[in-house]
Amino acid sequence: MDSAYAAAYPELYRRHWWWRVREQILLRRLSSIFDGATQDVRILDVGCGAGLFFDALQQFGTVEGIESDPVALDRSGRWRGNIFQGELDSSFRPAAPYDAILMLDVLEHVPEPGQLLVDARGLLKPHGRLVITVPAFNWLWTRHDEINHHLRRYSSAQLRRVVQGAGLVVTDSTYLFQSLVVPKALVRLKETLFPGDPEVPAMPATRVNAALQKWLLTEYAFAAWLPFGTSLMLLAELPDQKR
């Protein structure tokens, strides 16, 4: 991530409509996954940054993270003790396996995502879940991807192949933010015609921010079945599990 963007990220995460909507969607899915759990669950957030999602995740149980950026760790406050510094690879040995491993907008940064998924697979409990989000469709590539240091965007079919190649079973794949596809495509066209440098996202006006949150959460409730969007959420688990 660009350094200027990294500095602005905590405020954007806490207030901007896109991050607020994504968090609510993820919490709804996690609530459905853990419905009826009889004990605290263990969650690992891969690439967790400063642990900004931890306050919301702690409702489910024990939350840990792994993050390679020391600058992000310096901003993690009370959650610092729950975050391991480094990469998720064969050297990472937690105290116990996890009920859920989150990779939220992580795989698009990774040159070899298959190996990362294999390493994550080995850390799941027998009935554990992997929850992944990624930006969707390379034809929606914009300068926002550049400022985020993305390597790729994914279609559902592409992400399924990578996940299945790591020995995991895909249980659900859903596109998000369907109504943003046309605006995103127009931004790409504009940037093609008028090249420039990437810019850090800005906070919209308060009423606009609130209206977009309400609209996109309503859209998710009624239009998540549509086969397109600007983001993609995928759930996977270990093979040969009883559902």
Grade residue 142 by pLDDT with cuts at 50, 70 and 90. very high
pLDDT over threshold 70, residue 243: no
* pLDDT bucket at 241, cuts 50 / 70 / 90: low
Strands of 108-164, DSSP E: 124-135
Average pLDDT taken over every residue of the chain: 93
Determine the 3-state secondary structure of 50 from DSSP: coil
Residues 6+ apart with CB under 8 A from 146: 198
- pLDDT the model gives residue 38: 61
The residues with which 129 forms a beta bridge, in sequence order, are 100, 237
Tokens of 108: 């698009």
pLDDT attached to residue 24: 97
For the chain, state the CA radius of gyration.
Answer: 18
Banded pLDDT at 75 (limits 50, 70, 90): confident
Residue type at 119 in one-letter notation:
D
- Diameter of the chain measured on Cα atoms: 56
pLDDT of amino acid 37:
73
SS3 content of the chain, % helix, strand, coil (to 5): 45, 20, 35
**CA of 170: how far to CAs of 29, 110, 223, 239, in Å?**
15, 20, 21, 9
Average pLDDT rounded to a whole number, residues 149-167: 97
> Which domains, and CATH codes, for the chain?
3-237 (3.40.50.150)
C-alpha span between 123 and 90 (Å, rounded): 10
* DSSP conformation letters of 177-242: -GGGHHHHHHHHHHHHHS--------PPPHHHHHHHHHHHHHHHHHHTTSS--SEEEEEEE-SS--
What span, in angstroms and rounded, lies between the C-alpha atoms of 36 and 177?
A: 29
Q: What is the pLDDT at residue 181? A: 98
In the numeric block, which tokens belong to residue 202?
């800005």
